[in-house]
Amino acid sequence: MAVSRSVRRGLAAFAVLVTLPALTTPAGAQEPTEHGASGAAAHRESGQLARSGATSAATRLAMPGENRQIGRQDGYPRQTSLREFPENPDDKAIKLGLTPYHDIAPQLNELQERSDRVSAEVVGQSTQGRDLYLVTLTAPESPAEASRQARWRELIEEDPAAAAGNERLAREYKAPVWINANIHGDEWEGTDGALDVIERLATGTDPAHAELLESTRLYLTVTNNPDGRVAGTRANAAGFDINRDHITSSQPESRAVRDVLIETQPLVMLDEHGYTGTTLIEPGTPPHGRDYEYDLYIKHAYENALGMERAIGKLGYDETVRADIPFRDFEPGEWDDWPPIFTPMYSIHHGTVGHTVEVPLRVNRSEYEELPVEELRRRSAINRDVVAATITSAVDYADSHRAELIDDQIETFRRGWAGEPQREIPDGYVPGLGEEDRYSVEFPRAYVIPAGDGQRSAPAAARLVDHLVAHDVRVTRAEHTFHLGGERYPKGSYVVDMHQPKRGLANVMLSAGQDISGNVPRMYDISGWSLGLLWGVTVDVSADEAPAVRTSPVVTAGTTGSLPPSPNADLELALTDGADVQAVTYLLERGVEVTRGDDGVLVVPASARREAATAADRFGVVFTRAGKDAAGTELAAPVIAAAVSAGELAVLRGLGFEVRPVSTAVLNDGFDFDGVSALLVSTGLDHDALTAEAKRRLRAFLDDGGVVTRGAGGAAFNEAAGLLPVTAVEGRPDANGVVSVTDGDGGLLDRAPAQSFVYSPVWFTGLGESVAAEQRYARDPLVAGHWLPGEDVGGPAEAAGEASVVSGVSAAGTRAVLFGTEPMFRDHPKGLYAQVADAVFWAAS
């Protein structure tokens, strides 16, 4: 049975609302962050870790204050009165002569009163509760006309062969173009240039404007990061770089634009950024995403970039005579389009020709503080004009190449449905394209996410399935037992048939990835990210065969939580997933006595069965019957002092831990360790920079508390504090990716997955007698990513077989665990969170 996209996504949201009412965020409520008073409990109850994908979609759809709904068939304009925010004189945009956030809604409300070409809607809230606006520019449409456009948009994806033969679609389908602005909060001008374009097209008297909007819909998310815009920070209020979050979608801002992208299905999109000295316009350098239909992308991306370069040249500024087009002008690896974490690269997987645009003149950071206001405003005015020029040029390109762009989006989805191989691209296909630009993949026939005993973690599998569905990947559920590749899969197993329109996105999420260390000398950002390997889920690959079994479309993953039938038996829970950790911290917070055995397995008494049932239902975890002789040490709810990154802080609080952020300055200011049971250190805590008094208080804590560290910063703290006798060896700071690991001899991380993640990898040698290797890098460690040896640092060959995680007890009796891997990187490697919790529980005991 076929289920349309809008129905599928609407049902998914509805199902989550029905089954998980406690996991949504009320309208206008602030998403829990380190700034919120509720802290750990609020993050845990939000269910972000348990069901991140579907919950986010449901949360957006559930907000009664929002105007836009999936499947809505209103005509255009869809004008709404946007709520207006109080004036904020501290808004950082004001100094630059740009639009403060509180002025955006009044401007849009006023434009809606003046023009029937403009519609403004709210598509979500930021971390701090500010509205995220979607502005649509198009000629007026009746409900019937808008409905017809929606059906054609759906037909392009669902039945591209029929779409290709639809002559009326070819004549009348409006070319959708999406502009995303201000995703980095301190790169302001994208918002203002977008507002300039909105006003010109909404109110201008040029007949060409009206004609354009008869054949085009222009969608603009005018500020993707309003909290960062106001504060003048690159990151959002939770400390996340939203433009690194699209494959993970951990943040409300990235989830909102993900849904805009899926529902509008643009032919072309721009993500407006700054500042690179010379205007930069993608396409990027090699390595190119291997899962793209690159031939359909690059021919438009390159020509469109040339048009935008010409457009900024016509502005007449000395600073905009030319642009840097990385594909044309940069060396391989300098500005690549390999990972799907960036907005434009992610959008390519949805059939869109995506570009990052970087305006030229820096006005943030030290320049913001040091340059005269007059110079800042001169630069911002030029940048603003660059934004408007690139938007206008891209819209003109979409209009003039409308037929070919539509045909190529149809072709992208047709190849996916048909399971056809990617096309070989000849040299010179566009000027300069050569062998170094050829990246491709042989798509498997199907992925299977097993149910039952063959699945490592049921809650992790449910989370992954919900995440795939939220990203518009088709997942089905087997209605019967089946065999595939010599394996037997039970009823209820999930199937991702790779004959689907967005097969590239499915593959980029589920495949292991590729070691590209030998392809380019460097990478701009991460180069390995597999959800199949890093989310703690058993995912099997079938290269050539699809399951011969009846399946039904999945709109939301099935429930996974359960308790054994014996009401008088104690309950056992092994920490294999972050959801298990959430369940434990939930029980500890409610005063339930939980014991921890020497093997790390946790036991909950039968008397707490009701609380355990609530935890099983809420977090999807599976309790089993504890053995009669199960015994252990009573577990106390850890209180963690953490000198960590924003992403790590979010993970720890999401797991339900009480966390008190610390740093060198905080300790020097007299931080009180009273009640703290574990110290986590990865960044921001320099032992040598502590005052004598701070060192005394730290030493007093170390006499009773435990320590967990991560990376080079944590290893340096370990050495300076005199904890474990090890030598930390650092790899290249830009080395990153998915790595294979093996169990060590310590026993603490025996349930950890066989893969981990590294960024600036560290390994440990010279282990003293009191130190155990909990985990080691495999003999050929790099599965996917980019990791080369440096001039004075080793590569994978040097790390092979060495300890990646160690534990031990210091001479003073401090329990310590040192990670050389990155188990909490950007809220992404969710399958690794349980090993962090194991380390915390052990160190704090």
The reply to whether 639-844 shares the fold of 571-634 is no
Could you tell me where the DSSP H helices lie in 232-342? 252-264, 294-313, 326-329
Check residue 598 and give its pLDDT: 85
Check residue 627 and give its pLDDT: 85
Average pLDDT over residues 82-108: 98
Check residue 73 and give its pLDDT: 54
Rounded to whole angstroms, the Cα distance separating 807 from 776 reads 12
pLDDT tens for residues 745-761? 999 999 999 999 999 99
Rounded to whole angstroms, the Cα distance separating 53 from 447 reads 19
Check residue 614 and give its pLDDT: 98
pLDDT tens for residues 496-551? 999 999 999 999 999 999 999 999 999 999 999 999 999 999 999 999 999 999 99
Flag whether pLDDT at 52 surpasses 50.
no
Check residue 23 and give its pLDDT: 26
Query: 66-435 adopts what CATH topology?
Result: Aminopeptidase (3.40.630)
Q: Which residues are catalytic?
A: 411
Residue type, 142: S
**Total number of residues shown for the chain:** 845
Paired strand residues for 775: 743, 805
pLDDT tens for residues 787-807? 999 989 999 999 999 999 999
Q: Which residues contact 184 (CB under 8 A, 6 or more apart)?
A: 225, 228, 234, 241, 242, 243, 273, 274
Band (170; pLDDT cuts 50, 70, 90):
very high
Flag whether pLDDT at 613 surpasses 90.
yes
- Whose structure tokens read 């080079």? 712
Rounded to whole angstroms, the Cα distance separating 684 from 686 reads 6
More confident residue, 391 or 9: 391
Q: In the chain, what are the domain boundaries?
A: 66-435, 571-634, 639-844
According to DSSP, the β-strands at 268-274 and 280-281 are unpaired
Band (599; pLDDT cuts 50, 70, 90):
confident
pLDDT tens for residues 437-454? 999 999 999 999 999 999
Flag whether pLDDT at 55 surpasses 60.
no
pLDDT tens for residues 677-730? 999 999 999 999 999 999 999 999 999 999 999 999 999 999 999 999 999 999
Percent of the chain residues past pLDDT 70, beyond the cut: 91
Average pLDDT over residues 198-225: 97
Rounded to whole angstroms, the Cα distance separating 480 from 493 reads 9
Check residue 6 and give its pLDDT: 52
Both structure tokens of 753: 């997955």
Which of 278, 281, 98, 280 has the alpha carbon at shortest distance from 188? 98
Mean pLDDT of the chain: 92
CA 155 to chain centre: 28
Number of helical H runs and strand E runs in the chain: 28, 32
Could you tell me where the DSSP H helices lie in 419-479? 458-470
Contact between residue 604 and residue 632 where contact means Cβ atoms under 8 Å apart: no
Please give the CATH superfamily to which domain 639-844 belongs.
Class I glutamine amidotransferase (GATase) domain (3.40.50.880)
Contact between residue 516 and residue 287 where contact means Cβ atoms under 8 Å apart: yes
Average pLDDT over residues 249-266: 98
Backbone dihedral angles phi then psi of residue 529, each to the nearest 5 degrees: -160, 10
Element (H, E) at 101: helix 101-114
Per-residue 3-state assignment (H helix, E strand, C coil) for 593-618: CCEECCCCCEEECHHHHHHHHHHHHH
DSSP3 helix / strand / coil % (the chain, rounded to 5)? 40, 20, 40
pLDDT tens for residues 286-305? 999 999 999 999 999 999 99
What's the pTM value of the predicted model, to 2 decimals?
0.93
Per the omega criterion (within 30 degrees of 0), is the bond before 397 cis?
no
Paired strand residues for 220: 135, 179
Rounded to whole angstroms, the Cα distance separating 739 from 76 reads 50
DSSP string across 736-776: EEEEEEEE-SS-TTTTS-SEEEEES-EEEES--TTEEEEEE
Flag whether pLDDT at 436 surpasses 70.
yes
Percent of the chain residues past pLDDT 90, beyond the cut: 90
Backbone dihedral angles phi then psi of residue 136, each to the nearest 5 degrees: -115, 125
Query: 571-634 adopts what CATH topology?
Result: Alpha-Beta Plaits (3.30.70)
pLDDT tens for residues 333-382? 999 999 999 999 999 999 999 999 999 999 999 999 999 999 999 999 99
Flag whether pLDDT at 612 surpasses 90.
yes
Element (H, E) at 540: strand 540-542
Rounded to whole angstroms, the Cα distance separating 508 from 515 reads 14
Rounded to whole angstroms, the Cα distance separating 748 from 755 reads 16
Band (41; pLDDT cuts 50, 70, 90):
very low
Contact between residue 760 and residue 733 where contact means Cβ atoms under 8 Å apart: yes
3 state DSSP class of 295: helix
pLDDT tens for residues 639-658? 999 999 999 999 999 999 99
Average pLDDT over residues 377-389: 98
Check residue 3 and give its pLDDT: 52
Which of 341, 344, 346 has the alpha carbon at shortest distance from 355? 344
Quick one: DSSP state of residue 515? B
Flag whether pLDDT at 37 surpasses 50.
no
According to DSSP, the β-strands at 476-478 and 494-497 are antiparallel
Could you tell me where the DSSP H helices lie in 139-265? 143-158, 160-164, 167-172, 189-203, 207-215, 226-231, 252-264
Flag whether pLDDT at 7 surpasses 70.
no
Which of 804, 290, 784, 350 has the alpha carbon at shortest distance from 534? 784
Q: Which residues contact 467 (CB under 8 A, 6 or more apart)?
A: 52, 53, 54, 249, 509, 531
Contact between residue 827 and residue 250 where contact means Cβ atoms under 8 Å apart: yes
Backbone dihedral angles phi then psi of residue 818, each to the nearest 5 degrees: -115, 125
Residue type, 42: A
Contact between residue 736 and residue 527 where contact means Cβ atoms under 8 Å apart: yes
Flag whether pLDDT at 179 surpasses 80.
yes
Quote the strand ranges of 577-681, DSSP E: 595-596, 602-604, 624-625, 633-634, 639-643, 658-661, 678-681
Contact between residue 611 and residue 578 where contact means Cβ atoms under 8 Å apart: no
Flag whether pLDDT at 45 surpasses 50.
no
Rounded to whole angstroms, the Cα distance separating 536 from 557 reads 16
Check residue 104 and give its pLDDT: 98
Element (H, E) at 119: strand 118-125
Per the omega criterion (within 30 degrees of 0), is the bond before 140 cis?
no
Contact between residue 394 and residue 304 where contact means Cβ atoms under 8 Å apart: yes
Check residue 245 and give its pLDDT: 98
Average pLDDT over residues 413-430: 98
Residue type, 624: T
What is the torsion angle, in degrees rounded to the nearest 10, for the CA atoms of residue 131, residue 134, residue 139 and residue 141?
-80
